[in-house]
Chain A
Amino acid sequence: MSQNLNPQNEDRKTGMQVLRELQKEHKESDSGLGKAHVSNRIAMGVLWGATGITIGLLAVILIYVSYHGVGVVLQNFPEFIVGWPQGVNAEGGIAPTIVATLYSTGLAMAIATPIAVLAAVYLAEYAKQGRIVKTIRFAADSLASVPSIVMGLFGLAFFVETMNIPLSMLAASLGLSLLMLPIIMRATEEAIRAVPRYIRWGSYGMGATKWQTVSRVVLPTATPRIITGLILALARAIGETAVVFYTMGIAINMPIIPTDSGRSMSVHLYLMAVEGINLPSAYGTAFLLLLIILILNLSARWISKRYSRIDNS
C-alpha cells in the first residue's frame, strides 16, 4: 500500500477510488427510490426504446415491402417469376433480371472464392507477421470500404473500357468479385484461426507436410464457417446496385454466355422506382430481393448454428 502514496501517482485515480466514488453516490441515494435508481430506470427505458426502434424499423421495412409485394407476385404467379417484361411499362414478369442477377453473382462467387480462400490461408497459416501481412490486411480493409460506386466506375474504366470486355455478366462479376473478396477473406481467416491448434499438431505429428495439413485437416474443419461467410458475401452481391449499373448495362436481356449484357433485379427495382411507371413491378422485385436475402441469411445462420452444436458436443 505504501506505493500508493507515491507522489507521482497522486493525481491519478485508482480503480478503488473510482469504485468508492460510485459507492458514495449510491449511499447518497440510498433512501427509497433514490436518484441513482430513478436514473437507472429512465436509462433502462431509453435502452429498451432504442432497441425497439431498431427492431421496429426492420419490421416496418419487411412488412411494408412484403405486404405490397406478395400480392403482386401471387396475382401474377408464375408469370411474374418466369415471364418476360412487356411494353414500355415493363409489365409482366421479371425473369431475365432474376437470371441476370443469379448469373453475375454466381460467376462472381466462382471467381472470388478460390482467390479469397487461398489468400486467407496465406494470411492465417503461411505469412510471417510483419510488414507484408500488415499491407495486405490494410489493402483488404480498404477494398471492403471502397464506395460501391467507385468500384462501379473502376469496373467501367478498367474492365469495360481498357480490357474491352463489353458491358456484360463477365464485367459485372469481375466488379462484384472485388466487392466479395475482402468479405470472404475475412470470414475464412477467422474460420481458420478458430481451428484448434492441437488438431494441426496431430497432423504434423503424423508427418504431414504443411499443405497436407492445411488442405486435409484445417480447411475441412473450417468449412462450415467459410460457407457462412460465402453466403453472406453472396447476399451482399445480390443486393448490390451501383457496381452492376455501370458494368452490366441496363437493357433487359436474357444472358446466355458470359459476355451477354442484361439488367439485374436491383437495377430493375431502381429504374422502376425512380421512373415510377410501374410500381407494382417494383414492389414485386423488392419483395423477391428481400426474400432471397432473407433465405440466404437464415441458411447462413442455420449452418453456423448446426456447426456450433457439433462443436459443443
Chain B
Amino acid sequence: MSNEELNQNPQNPLDSTVDSAVDPARDANATESMPEAGKESLRTDANPEKKTLTRTPGVTMKELADTAAQREPVPVVRPATKLQLVSRRTQIKEASLASLFFICAFLAVLGVSLIFAFVAWRAFPIVHEIGLWNFLTGTKWSVAEGVFGAVPFIMGSLVVVGGSLIMGVPLAVLTAVFMSEVASPRANAIIRPAVELLAGVPSVVVGFFGVVVVVPLVSQLVGGAGFGPLTAWIVLSIMIMPTITTLSEDALNSIPMGIREASYAMGATKWQTIWKVVIPAARVGIIDATILGMGRAIGETMAVLMVVGNAPQLFAGISAPISTMTSQIVLEMGYSSGTHRTALFGLAAILFLISMSLVLTVRLLSREQHKKRKKVKKGAEA
C-alpha cells in the first residue's frame, strides 16, 4: 500500500496518534474537545500543570491545590486497531489473542461475582430459618439454643475498627507527612523499606506478637486476662498503619513542589506549610487511605481472632472480651452445620457488603474530585 493510500484513509488511528503526538500544543488543544476515552489515551507530556497553576481570578488556593492533587493519568498510546496491512491469518491470530486477554481480565469480574453469589446463596436461608430482621437485630448468639443474632459481632467489629482507626490513623498520617515533607532522602531510605516490611508482616505473626507481648502488658495495665478490645486496638493499629502511611505518602508526594515553595516564599514555617497548604491539598488522598485502612481493619481476621477474647457478647469496657464477625467465622465454621452455618455465611455476606461499599466510597470520592478538577480547569481557562 502506498503512502498516498494510507493518507486517504482518515480512520487509520496509528496515523492520527503519531501526528498529534509530534505537535504537543495541538494535541493539548485537541484533547480538550475530545471525549473522555480519547483524552486519556492521547495525553502527552505537554505539562498540563502549567496551565492550572497560573493564578486565575476566582480560583482559590484550595481549589488549585485540589487540582494539583489529582495525578495526571499515565500516558498510553493506542495504536492501530485495524490491521489492514497484514494477512488474514495474522488478523485472526491478533483478534483471538485480544479476546483471550479480555477473558483473563474478565476473570476478576467473574471471581468477585462468584464470591458474592456463593456467599449470598449460602446465607440466603437466613430469611426463612431465622428471619432477616431477627438476624440483623438479635443481640444473642447461642449455638446450643439455636439463637443467632448478629449484633454482638457487628458491634464488636465496629468497636475494634473504630478504636484502631483512632489509634492508627494519626500515627500513620504523621509518619507519612514526616516521610514526604521532613525526612531527608537518606532517612527515607530506612523508613520506607521499614514501613513496607511492616505491611508485609503476616497477620498471624502480628497476632502471635499480640498474644505473647501485648496481652500480658494490657493485663497488667487494666487488669483482667488481657484479651479484649484494647489489645485488639493496639494489634490492629499495627496492622493498618503501613497501608494508610503508604497511601497517604503517595497523596502527599503528588502535590506539586510549587505550592510549597509559594508558601515558604511568603515566610510560612514548615509546619504552617504542612498544615495549611500541603495537608488540605492532599485531603482526599488521605481520606481514601483511611477508608482503605478501614477496609483492611474490618476484614482482618487472624490477628484480631487471637487477641480479642472471642466471647459473643456486647461491648462492655475495654478489657471485657468481645468477638468480631471475622473471628466468629473462623472460630465456629469448623464444627457448624445447618442454621448455624447459614448464620456464619450471613456474617460473611455482611463483611463482603461492607468491604464493597468502602471500595465504592473511594471510587465516588475520586470521581467527585475529578469533576471538581474539571470545573477548576474550566475556570482557569475562562
Contacts and interface: CB of A to CB of B under 8 A. Distances in A.
Interface of A: 1, 3-4, 6, 8-9, 12-20, 22-23, 25-27, 36-37, 39-40, 43-44, 46-48, 50-51, 53-55, 57-58, 60-61, 64-65, 114-116, 118-130, 135-136, 138-143, 145-154, 156-158, 162, 178, 181-182, 185, 190, 193-194, 197, 200-201, 204, 207, 209-211, 232, 235-236, 238-242, 245-246, 266, 269-270, 273-274, 279, 282, 286, 289-290, 293-294, 296-297, 301
Given A51-B191, A209-B86, A9 B202 contact: no
A143 B295 CA distance: 12
Chain A binding surface, main DSSP class: helix
Interface in B90-114: 90, 93-94, 97-98, 100-102, 104-109, 111-114
Interface residues of B, number: 121
Given A53-B171, A150-B348, A19 B100 contact: no
Contacts of B206: 61
Nearest to B273: A22
21 contacts: A13-B60, A14-B55, A15-B55, A15-B61, A18-B61, A18-B276, A19-B61, A25-B272, A39-B271, A54-B175, A55-B191, A130-B37, A138-B359, A143-B115, A148-B299, A150-B351, A209-B94, A238-B202, A269-B205, A274-B211, A297-B196
Given A65-B205, A197-B77, 8 more contacts: A23-B266, A36-B272, A51-B174, A65-B208, A122-B98, A146-B355, A209-B86, A241-B204
B202 A289 contact: yes
B359 to A, nearest CB: 5
B348 A153 contact: yes
A266 B205 CA distance: 8
Given A36-B269, A146-B112, A157-B119, A15 B329 contact: no
B268 interface: yes
Contact of A143 (B112, B271, B351): B112
B55 A147 contact: no
Contacts of A22: 263, 266-268, 272, 276
Interface in B173-222: 174-175, 177-179, 181-183, 190-191, 193-198, 200-209, 211-213
B175 A274 contact: no
B109 to A, nearest CB: 4
Contacts of B362: 141
A274 B191 CA distance: 32
A51 B179 contact: yes
A47 B362 CA distance: 27
B60 A157 contact: no
B323 interface: no
A72 B156 CA distance: 36
B118 A154 contact: yes
Contact of B18 (A147, A201, A270): A201
Contacts of B118: 154, 157-158, 162
Given A142-B355, A201-B77, A129 B266 contact: no
B177 to A, nearest CB: 6
A289 B205 contact: yes
A129 B76 CA distance: 11
Contacts of A47: 174, 177-178, 181-182
A281 B292 CA distance: 34
A210 B86 CA distance: 11
Contacts of A8: 58
